[in-house]
Amino acid sequence: MSAASPTATDYLQLFERYGTDFGPAYLAPEDERYRLLFDQICRLLVAPSSFNQAMPQEFRQAAKRYLAGEASTLAHLRDPQNRHFMLSDLHDYVHLTAHMGGSGW
């Protein structure tokens, strides 16, 4: 995995560590594994790469604000369901991009 310039494959490899069907994760209870995954994903999202530049920038903006410690973002993402929902949406986006083609939205 290349955190310096992440690709769809980097994201998918990270998600695969947590199972193949990530869709229902947003319904899962708080779990330190998902907290760690969220932190790792945020670090990938803020790294410069052509893949990251092509994705919906809301993912990257949320990650930047979260890692910067912005109070309103931290308050929103304190709720595990909100973090899990973001992970689920990102997983779907990355999976579709990698398997259906396209350069992003």
pLDDT, tens digit, 9 for 90 and up, residues 69-101: 999 999 999 998 899 889 989 999 999 999 887
State which residues form the domain around 26.
Answer: 11-100
pTM score, two decimals? 0.85
Amino acid at 8: A
Q: Check residue 4 and give its pLDDT.
A: 76
Is residue 25, in this structure, part of any structural domain at all? yes
Q: Check residue 81 and give its pLDDT.
A: 87
Is residue 54, in this structure, part of any structural domain at all? yes
Q: Helix crossing, 32-46 with 57-68: angle to 10°?
A: 110
Domain total for the chain? 1
pLDDT at 14 over 80: yes
Is residue 4, in this structure, part of any structural domain at all? no
Angle, alpha carbons 26-27-28 (nearest 5°) = 95
pLDDT at 21 over 80: no
Predicted confidence (pLDDT) per residue in 22-71, tens digit: 666 656 667 778 889 999 999 999 999 999 999 999 999 999 999 999 99
Is residue 53, in this structure, part of any structural domain at all? yes
pLDDT at 104 over 60: no
Q: Check residue 22 and give its pLDDT.
A: 63
